[in-house]
Amino acid sequence: MTASIKRAPRALPETRIPEVVDGFRSVFATVKSRLEEGREKTGLAASQLWAMTVIEREDGISVGDLASALSIHQSTASNLLRPLLDQGLVEAPRVEEDRRSVRLGVTPAGKRMLRRAPGPFDGLLRDALGTLDYTTLARLEHDLGKVAAALE
């Protein structure tokens, strides 16, 4: 006589929805709080602080390379830079060999501003995701893709 193994019934997906929604809310609230803290301390948007962080780390970066680093369009990067240039936080001297090109740098005033920022602003979510092992990150990518598709 063989004993049959009784398996617990699978939980219905609906029973996990509140916990998952709470997880999303927690992530969003944490990110929002950090972004607001940065704005309060510097008067700059998180995207501007992130751009300045990248420029400081990669002194002399081009606008196109900055756009790539931020995963935004080059025209969006130019619009993001305009107030930073106007406030004297970033400089964009022309390249001698090609006067159409500029190389970006953070000014001393910009460096002081970055020191006041709570940071890191070079990708708060990227830093958090970087703590995950490969399998977890791959599963998260797959599962978030399903969520995004369901929202469309």
pTM score:
0.68
Round the average pLDDT of the chain to a whole number and report it. 87
How many angstroms from the chain centroid is the CA of residue 55? 15
Give percent of the chain with pLDDT exceeding 90: 55
For tokens 């740098």, what's the residue? 105
* pLDDT score of 101: 83
Distance, in Å, from the CA atom of 74 to the CA atom of 42, rounded to the nearest integer, reads 25
CATH number of 37-121: 1.10.10.10
Which tens digits make up the pLDDT trace of 29-86?
988 888 888 888 899 998 899 899 999 999 999 999 999 999 999 999 999 999 999 9
Across the strands, what pairs with 90?
106
Going from N- to C-terminal start, the domains of the chain cover 37-121, 123-152
